[in-house]
């Protein structure tokens, strides 16, 4: 699992820039924040091998602000699938060669 946030000198094997990466086992849980902060704003989490991720985003009482207003209501996490596009062609009519 790879995490990208902002400018970074690190490059993954696919040529994408990333901030840090994590190696997880099947069904392992991991709470992720932007490195050095308790923030997830603008974070991009992805895999390189097509492994599916399951995510939940909401208030974490250990990191949520206290007081008034102090509301961290979370937001939906939408999947952004990578389209797989294929192209093919077939010659139906071959024009005669001109000399």
Residue 18: other Cβ atoms inside 10 A: 19
N-to-C CA span, the chain: 59
Task: Determine contact, residues 22/30, Cβ cutoff 8 Å.
Answer: yes
pLDDT given at position 3: 64
Q: Tokens 């901030």 — which residue?
A: 19
* DSSP H or E stretch at residue 11: strand 10-11
Instruction: Indicate whether this model's pTM tops 0.85.
Output: no
pLDDT given at position 79: 67
User: Per-residue confidence of the chain (99 residues) as pLDDT tens digits?
Assistant: 566 666 677 888 888 888 888 888 888 888 887 767 766 777 788 888 888 888 777 777 776 667 766 666 666 666 666 778 889 988 888 777 777
The one-character DSSP state at 61 is T
């Amino acid at each position: 699992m790879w995490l990208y946030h902002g400018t970074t000198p690190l490059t993954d094997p696919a040529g994408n820039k990333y901030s840090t990466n994590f190696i997880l086992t099947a069904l392992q849980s991991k709470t992720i924040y932007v490195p050095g902060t308790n923030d997830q704003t603008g974070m991009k989490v992805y895999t390189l091998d097509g492994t599916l991720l399951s995510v939940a985003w909401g208030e974490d009482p250990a990191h949520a602000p206290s007081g008034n207003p102090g509301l961290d209501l979370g937001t939906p996490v939408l999947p952004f699938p990578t389209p797989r596009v294929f192209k093919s062609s077939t010659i139906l009519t071959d024009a005669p060669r001109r000399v």
